[in-house]
Structure 1
Amino acid sequence: MLQRIFRAYVGSFSDLRREVWLLAFITFINRAGTMVIPFLSLYLTKNRGFSLDEVGWILTFFGLGSVAGAWVGGKLVDRIGHYKTMALSLLLSGVLFIFLQFPVSFWGICAGIFIVMLVADAFRPAVFVAINAYSKPQNRTRSVTLIRLAINLGFSAGPAVGGLIIAGAGYSGLFWVDGITCIMAGLLLLNLLHPKKAVENPKDIISIPKSMMKDKPYLVFILAMILFGFVFLQYFSTMPLYYSKVHLLSEFEIGLLLGLNGFLIFLFEMPLIKYLESKVRSTLFHVITGTVLVAISFLLINLTGWIGIVIVGMIFLTLGEMIAFPFSNSFALKRAEGGKQGAYMAMYSIAFSTGHIFGHNSGMQLIDKFGYSLTWNVMILLSIITCVLLIYVLFLVKKETDASVLRAEESQIPS
């Protein structure tokens, strides 16, 4: 029985190209090093003495830099290619992460965070284009999932190691390790992954794309993803404060709890996605299911003060994330058929960057003025709105499909 499960697990990773595995490994090194981010709100309040209101605004600049980075990354990919864009982003962000520990003023930290995220998040659209270039078309969605697994495995190791670094060397050591690992990832990219190994699809390059801005189902979907990102990101900005102030967890304990998220994703996401793909359900149905599970995680946190509920809540969040993100990626890729995948995936990245702009700040302001309980209720309400929008997208896609079928039938009727 266990042998069969193991074979099925290994089988879910089959047929992926060597270059995709190398890209995943480089992404893992980079993500494992990005351990400053989960502790950023704690660093700003405990080490720098900023209020929750000020931290909220600093994290808004984090989101603004993320949006700008996704946009700049898309432009750079068009001009110099995905390979050079990824290398520049990794190497420069490594240096910038090291220097981020030195600003002490409010505006200095705002500027530092913005510049770091501008450079670091230029990597994201370049990675999507790289996946498109290095993977076989039939394995593209699983290639995206493998990159997500690398990110989350790195995220499971990063916060746990980060908590130890803070305990032993303080926050300064965290910035140094973060910067050095980004530089290492950039050097690995230059030495292991070669752009000549890419399998470019000429059709994707020369075709005249459909206009993404006229794709109504996709635009409504992006709005839903902005709201979903707004809710989801609370677990990595305001929720650590809740763990610290309400449940009195240490940085190391918070790191382990956040690390549980990435570890569970590494173990179960690929087999779960393969299993769900075998079910006769639409992609959007799975995204809705994931959103509901995330909402339940906030509901559980609000039901009891029992400390074990934070683990249960994290498990529900992780299940929701494992289902919602791969299938939302898949939906975006599907909508991009006949158009530019890079443009569609850049917009998908920007949706979550937009969540960074408003999510962190709004979460901090809500907690500061109304407390944690009401804030989590707001997240539940936003999750419900997200589900309603996704159901509307389902309706639009069905209407679109019915119209296409009707046109096809009419074209076959003899004149």
Structure 2
Amino acid sequence: MKTLFNNYINTFKGLSHEVWWLALITLINRAGTMVIPFLSLYLTENLDFTLKDVGWIMSAFGLGSVVGSWLGGRLTDKIGYYKVMVRSLISTGVLFIALQFLNTFASFCFGIFLVMLVADMFRPAMFVALSAYSKPENKTRSVTLIRLAINLGFSVGPAVGGIIITTLSYGGLFWVDGITCILATGLLIKVLHPKKARVLDTVKNENPSSAYHDKAFLIFLVSMVLFGIVFLQYFSTMPLYYKDIHRLTEFDIGILLGMNGFAIFLLEMPLIKWLESTNFTKSGLMIFGTILLGISILVLNLTSWTGVLIIGMLFMSLGEMITFPFSNAFALDRAKKGNQGEYMALYSIAFSIAHIFAHNAGMHMVDDLGFNNTWYIFTMLAGFCVLLLFSLSRYLNTQKKKRLA
């Protein structure tokens, strides 16, 4: 047991102090995002919106994310990642607190659009900061550490969120989310001021190429949109499935979603360190992770036994653990060809686009076709994503052979 623990600790060695601070700031911020997993329940139960209303609201959520990611990338290349991160975090905190006071369909659509626009300006800036503070050989593990912080926050957040809903109300979630964003801003200002920064890897390309002309990157982005559409069902339609079909309470749902974050907290870093030591390519690992995600959706239709929810969650967690760190590392590697803000903004936008379509499509499918048919459709979509990633892998191999010829 001691050897196992020491090996686990060793997977974290070599990462810079700045990356650790970024991880802690992310943890504080993400621990407060307990509103998001319960948003569909809040909108249907507290505000009496229909499933189709919720779908359109979640599309506004995704649209705000697209605009915010694009704007964040532009501003990062112009004024620097630090200013973007600070302004995004503190503004998000204020806006989340204000969101609870909106109770009409139109006002909530606008409110969630504005919240996500401001909140997702943070993501491309954070990725560029992460690249700046990471040694080249540690980038995948640095990304994994940030994801570890995100998932630890998500594991604590839903569990605490379920308790807050049970003991207080949904309104308490908005207050906690806003306050944690403000606390994260304070920590960022204190520990990561630019004067204290020491760039460990060059982030400026004097002759940048456009990400829009990078064919491999564009194929990759489309595949990430498809992956995101399937993955995001776990944060909109899936909680409704847990509640309506398997009769889970909000507390039970919070624990189940929290299990995902806890599994990632325990397993992702050792898994990534081991996979980095193998001969698998990043595209090959993304293919495997996507297959696992598809299986996690498919198994829900195989039995009515409630325990299958845990099995599905474990398959999804493994797929997420593999796909996200290596897709992020792939994007960072390609970003060396041009402006990093532009590349990382497009990477963030891929998932923002997924937000636009995932929740809306999922809600409409559930309402019109039922849960079982919806899960079959999303399983097929995961299969199409696998085929696209195969084409990316073949294209990269062809390009490599041309360079060596």
TM-score, normalization by structure 1: 0.96
CA apart distance, 1:337? 2.9
1:410 corresponds in structure 2 to: none
1:303 corresponds in structure 2 to: 302
Alignment of structure 1 residues 208-219 onto 2, 5 Å: 208-219=207-218
Give a deviation string over 1:198-224, Cα, whole Å, max 9, x none.
334795325211221121111111101
1:359 corresponds in structure 2 to: 358
2:74 corresponds in structure 1 to: 75
Give a deviation string over 1:282-341, Cα, whole Å, max 9, x none.
111110000000111111111001000001100000000001111111221222233233
Distance 1:200 1:207, change over 3 A: farther
- Alignment partners' CA distance in 2, 1:76 and 1:341: 12
- Alignment partners' CA distance in 2, 1:388 and 1:95: 43
CA apart distance, 1:391? 0.4
2:17 corresponds in structure 1 to: 18
Alignment of structure 1 residues 367-406 onto 2, 5 Å: 367-406=366-405
Distance 1:254 1:51, change over 3 A: same
2:35 corresponds in structure 1 to: 36
- SS across alignment from 1:102: coil
Q: Which moved more, 1:148-157 or 1:185-194?
A: 185-194
CA apart distance, 1:34? 1.1
Give the letter aligned to residue 277 of structure 2: S
Give the letter aligned to residue 283 of structure 1: K
2:301–2:372: 8 Å Cα contact kept in structure 1? yes
2:54 corresponds in structure 1 to: 55
**Is 1:284 equivalent to 2:244 in the alignment?**
no
Aligned length: 405
1:208–1:339: 8 Å Cα contact kept in structure 2? yes
- Alignment partners' CA distance in 2, 1:81 and 1:337: 17
- SS across alignment from 1:25: helix
Give a deviation string over 1:375-396, Cα, whole Å, max 9, x none.
0001110011000000000111
Give the letter aligned to residue 368 of structure 1: D
- Alignment partners' CA distance in 2, 1:77 and 1:336: 14
1:330 corresponds in structure 2 to: 329
CA apart distance, 1:344? 1.6
- SS across alignment from 2:169: helix
CA apart distance, 1:90? 1.0
1:19–1:197: 8 Å Cα contact kept in structure 2? no
- SS across alignment from 1:338: coil
Give a deviation string over 1:339-361, Cα, whole Å, max 9, x none.
23332221111101100000000
CA apart distance, 1:174? 1.0
Give the letter aligned to residue 381 of structure 1: M
- Alignment partners' CA distance in 2, 1:363 and 1:32: 26
1:409 corresponds in structure 2 to: none
Distance 1:91 1:120, change over 3 A: same
- SS across alignment from 1:208: coil
2:135–2:201: 8 Å Cα contact kept in structure 1? no
Give the letter aligned to residue 237 of structure 1: S
Give a deviation string over 1:41-77, Cα, whole Å, max 9, x none.
0000000000001000000000001111101111221
- SS across alignment from 1:170: coil
1:30–1:185: 8 Å Cα contact kept in structure 2? yes
- SS across alignment from 1:30: helix
- Alignment partners' CA distance in 1, 2:281 and 2:134: 24
Which structure: larger Rg?
1
Give the letter aligned to residue 173 of structure 1: G
1:228 corresponds in structure 2 to: 227
- SS across alignment from 1:23: helix
2:120 corresponds in structure 1 to: 121
- Alignment partners' CA distance in 1, 2:333 and 2:75: 24
- SS across alignment from 1:58: helix
Alignment of structure 1 residues 28-177 onto 2, 5 Å: 28-177=27-176
Give the letter aligned to residue 34 of structure 1: T
Give a deviation string over 1:68-87, Cα, whole Å, max 9, x none.
11011112212321111111
- Alignment partners' CA distance in 2, 1:8 and 1:296: 30
- SS across alignment from 2:247: coil
RMSD (Å) for aligned C-alpha atoms: 1.2
Return structure 1 stretches of 4+ with deviation > 3 angstroms.
199-204
**Is 1:346 equivalent to 2:379 in the alignment?**
no
CA apart distance, 1:137? 2.2
- SS across alignment from 2:198: coil
Give a deviation string over 1:181-200, Cα, whole Å, max 9, x none.
11111111111222123334
1:59–1:357: 8 Å Cα contact kept in structure 2? yes
- SS across alignment from 2:304: coil
- SS across alignment from 1:205: coil
- Alignment partners' CA distance in 2, 1:74 and 1:213: 14
